[in-house]
Amino acid sequence: MLSRAGQDAHFLLRADYDAVLRNGVSIRSPQGDFHARPHAARMPEEIGVCDLVMIALKTTANSEFPKLLPPLVGPSTAVLTLQNGLGNEEALARLFSPAQILGGLCFVCLNRIAPGVIQHLDHGLIMLGEFQRWPEPRTHDIASIFKHAGVVGKVTGNLARAHWEKLVWNIPFNGLGVASAAGYEALLSSQPVLPATRQPCQTTNQLLDGEKWEKLVRELMNEVITAANALGHTLELALAEKMIERTRTMGAYKASTILDFERGQPLELESLFLEPLRQAQAAKVSTPRLAVLCERLRQLNPT
């Protein structure tokens, strides 16, 4: 959308390079299909220093930061991670000045269905914030650029709190979506999962259609909210109900972690599940559902 709006957008691509170079990017959306042709690059040196670097890697690839990012980042570059979970800004702040780092949370329902082809299903908000700082003028400038391109961009004064707010959705729907392959009973105990008992993953509507699954969703949400509050992030319990109602409009959506699992790709265990669990434990918050979920995901992780 930034490219379509005339921004000088460059895509640093891995698997999709040939397809995007040849055909551009196609978006299928209930808000209207469109096609864009951003500059396609295979190596960061082909792009050079940028005003803004937006990171959309899976967090399982964060070890690539030292190789991919330095050719793109100058002293005045803003580095914005749009990744899931906790710890991503901290990883960037170990490479660059913390004052250059921003975080963004994408509240959007979409899937990459083929190289260079994206299916957008619902929603589309990006929440922006500064790492360990109040919003700067540049934060609002970036949000304005997004808005001009048709992307809903908002600014938060507390990025850490916003991360926990999104985890209220991500942990149950990404986590249970994958862990449901072990079966419902396996999520109530710490017994090992047998490969022979694998079941199809539950989509968002399936997790909310059955009383027992919806109960697990709510219990996980409440654990995340309780942990966030213990860490000083002040989330209301009513947030769980708001997110559940918002999710009902998505239909049979497979969250991104389910797609990774079904493709045999590594799960974003560290940022989405294990680090939140560690922080909850450090705050002395009891999270029995999250602890079992993390164990199940460890057992199911394809790598």
3 and 43 in contact (C-beta within 8 Å)?
A: no
Residue 278: CB partners within 8 Å, gap ≥ 6? none
Structure tokens, 80: 């914005």
Cα-Cα-Cα-Cα torsion 141, 144, 148, 152, nearest 10 degrees, comes to 140
67, 154, 166, 212: the catalytic one is 166
Residue 166 designated active-site: yes
Q: How far apart are CA 159 and CA 294, in angstroms?
A: 24
Residue whose structure tokens are 């082809």? 117
Q: How far apart are CA 211 and CA 214, in angstroms?
A: 5
Strands (E), the chain: 10-12, 25-28, 34-36, 39-41, 52-55, 78-81, 101-114, 117-130, 152-155
Q: How far apart are CA 58 and CA 257, in angstroms?
A: 10
Catalytic residues, by residue number, are 166
